[in-house]
Amino acid sequence: MADIIQLLPDHVANQIAAGEVVQRPASVVKELIENAVDAGATAVKLIIKDAGKTLIQVIDNGKGMSVTDARLSFERHATSKIRNADDLFQLNTKGFRGEALASIAAIAHVELKTKQEQDDVGTVIVIEGSNVVSQDVVVTPKGTSISVKNLFFNIPARRNFLKSNAVELRHIIDEFHRVTLVHSNISFTFFNNGSETFNLPVSNYRQRIVNIFGTKTNEKLVPVEEDTEVLKISGFVFKPEFAKKTRGEQYFFVNNRFIKSAYLNHAIVSAFEGLLKNGTHPSYFLNLEVDPQTIDINIHPTKTEIKFDDEHTLYAILRSAVKHSLGQFNIAPVLDFERDATMDTSYNLNKAGIAQAPKIEVDRSFNPFETSKDTVKQTASSSYKKQESNWEGLYVGLESKGTMSQHDFSEVQFESEETVSSLFETSEEQTQTNSTYQFHNKYIISSIKSGMLVIDQHRAHQRILYEDFLQDITVKVGVSQQLLFPLELHFSSQELEIIKQLKQDLEHTGFVFSNVTEESIEITGVPVTVPESEISIILEQLISDVQNEVPDANFSATDLLAKSMAKSLAIKTGQSLQKDEQEHIVNKLFACKEPNVSPTNRVTFITVGVDELDKKFI
Ligand code: ADP
Ligand code: MG
């Protein structure tokens, strides 16, 4: 039989290799900026069009390349950064594989212009899908400019796989942060679709963080410094009160290289122990310096994971350094014996307060010129006194009602139906006819004519809020409550960009923005259903939902906003509910258009028929 093994042609091999290096436009941005840094640039400019799908260009004032090097730089495994395997353990450059330019050129249209200081003219090379289209002499300033157009032009599947511009841009900005944070001695500018998104002058580390994340960041920072034989730490953590619900700014750099490490993250989290609110994550910007001999950065193609020789020691040092800083800056809680005891509320009262779901009933037919009407009825709950368990609620209607084999929703009848209109009244008789029961602080059980209804409280409430918000946004009737004091919230510029996009819809839900600047927004009104303490959490959640949005045909900003707000505000699993709250949820759920599923398509309730129960007792 004839031999069948062949060597792959270079352009095919490059295309395959490209898949590892270039996953998306952000990977190109990373490689090009890193090359600029490696070339000793003091100023780097990044230009992006259409989230990198149309253009990614990086211009630097670094050392440039000779004619031969310019040509060679596109060969696979062509690098000026290492010469032998030993060099791998003495790395002080970002790149070393010599794969980036070859990979990028294999799957895009690339133009390179470069000139070294001592030369009068430079070189321009145009490459498309690994083919050199032209090479010429060019007048160009010292340094290198690489433009990458039509990424994945020859791999349609890859191109189609790209996410929406918002998502791709988010990834690009992430990469931009990761490089710019550790090189505050280099100035960076970033132009997105022609407008300047970041302008980061040469500065110290603290200023760089503030320049990227906004001036308000400054007061959040607590410095962390530690110098030991094996590890040098410098950087900042956010004060615990600024911990975020979503994993926000968490940056580790090892020898100036961004890395991810769940293990080291754990060290930080444990240093914050007792200081963070449940479900929040600390933010940090920490640079670790270790002997390059003690790490292996070669285990991941895109190099965000690294292997340490002695992780345990690093963990311990890191944890104690962060703990020490938090303590030094008086952030750890102190026992305060002089506190006025009358300020303390009793445990019971606190608990009852927390257990209250936002319950404000709004009269949509309110006419402001009619003086006699109550507009907003705050239903102060007096019902938390009545704690007797209501097992009997389970049995209501089970004994004598006929069986209904198929659970057609339209036939579902509620025992409590006649009380719908006066749901919030808590007269004695009413509590006597209880027909709901909360199970494990998770499910609401109610009896229906045909049997038993088990409702997931969190999902059900999400559905209710979702439809309410959707209605408010589309009908534009969200009712607003004015804040006593305007609330100023600070965001990074790309976060603000998202808020601006959604501003109108947010206003329809009842938000009132009085001032939107480059880095902050001022809020003077919020939807009546939103407690003031939740405002920032809701907006943070919203921003992160938009950022992580996976676009599909049905994507709409309105929908996302309604979903996100519903998710943030819905009663959580584990929250104990008063009787009236349980009934409110049951009634509101079944007044929804699609009560069967949550906004994310999860089942909200199940029914267990009397016949099913009967069978179990045979
Ligand atoms: P690596 O960075 O791993 O060496 P690359 O494919 O990214 O591989 O680059 C190949 C070579 O091209 C680099 O080693 C460097 O010598 C040269 N090069 C790339 N970008 C630049 C630049 N912006 N300025 C100067 N030289 C560069
Ligand atoms: Mg490189």
Q: What is the pLDDT of residues 163-195, one digit of tens each?
A: 888 889 989 999 999 999 999 999 999 999 998
d(C-alpha 570, C-alpha 598), whole Å: 11
Q: What is the position in ligand 1's atom list of the atom closest to the CA of 146?
A: 23
* 202 CB within 6 A, ligand 1: no
Q: Which of 130-139, 405-414, 479-488 has the lowest mean pLDDT?
A: 405-414
pLDDT of residue 54: 94
CA–centroid distance, residue 73 to ligand 1 (Å): 6
pLDDT in tens, 537-579: 888 888 888 877 655 444 567 788 888 889 888 998 888 898 8
Q: Which of 138-147, 172-181, 327-336, 490-499 has the lowest mean pLDDT?
A: 327-336
Within 10 angstroms of residue 42's Cβ, the number of other Cβ atoms is 13
Average predicted confidence (pLDDT) for the chain: 79
Count helices and strands in the chain by DSSP H and E runs = 18, 24
Mean pLDDT of 108-133: 96
Give percent of the chain with pLDDT exceeding 70.
78
Evaluate the CA torsion angle 316, 321, 324, 326 in order and state its sign. Answer: negative
* 544 CB within 6 A, ligand 1: no
Q: What is the CA radius of gyration of the chain?
A: 30
CA–centroid distance, residue 193 to ligand 1 (Å): 26
* 39 CB within 6 A, ligand 1: yes
CA–centroid distance, residue 94 to ligand 1 (Å): 10
Q: What is the position in ligand 1's atom list of the atom closest to the CA of 98?
A: 8
Contact at 8 Å (CB) between 124 and 67? no
pLDDT of residue 422: 32
CA–centroid distance, residue 79 to ligand 1 (Å): 6
Distances 442 to 396, 462, 573 between C-alpha atoms, Å: 20, 14, 5
pLDDT at residue 303 tops 90: no
* 142 CB within 6 A, ligand 1: no
HEC profile of 520-588? EEEEEEEECCCCHHHHHHHHHHHHHHHHCCCCCCCCCHHHHHHHHHHHHHCCCCCCCCCHHHHHHHHHH
Nearest ligand to the C-alpha atom of residue 96: 1
Q: What are the structure tokens assigned to 538, written together?
A: 């809701």
Nearest Cα neighbor of 106 from 189, 19, 205, 198 is: 19
Q: Which of 227-231, 250-254, 292-296, 411-415 has the lowest mean pLDDT?
A: 411-415
d(C-alpha 495, C-alpha 212), whole Å: 12
Q: What are the structure tokens assigned to 73, written together?
A: 């730089």
* 73 CB within 6 A, ligand 1: yes
Mean pLDDT of 108-129: 96
Residue of the CA atom closest to atom 12 of ligand 1 = 73
Locate tokens 């070669």: which residue? Answer: 298
Which of 445 and 554 is assigned the larger pLDDT?
A: 445
The amino acid that residue 439 corresponds to is: F
CA–centroid distance, residue 247 to ligand 2 (Å): 29
Contact at 8 Å (CB) between 492 and 213? yes
Contacts of 590 by beta carbon, 8 Å cutoff, 6+ apart: 409, 412, 414
Beta bridge partners of 59: 45, 145
Distances 96 to 58, 82, 180, 255 between C-alpha atoms, Å: 19, 6, 19, 15
pLDDT of residue 275: 86
pLDDT in tens, 506-541: 888 889 998 888 888 999 988 888 888 888 888 888
Locate tokens 């979503």: which residue? Answer: 246
pLDDT of residue 419: 33
Residue of the CA atom closest to atom 21 of ligand 1 = 35
Residue 163 has φ and ψ, to the nearest 5°, of -85, 180
CA–centroid distance, residue 314 to ligand 2 (Å): 28
d(C-alpha 148, C-alpha 162), whole Å: 16
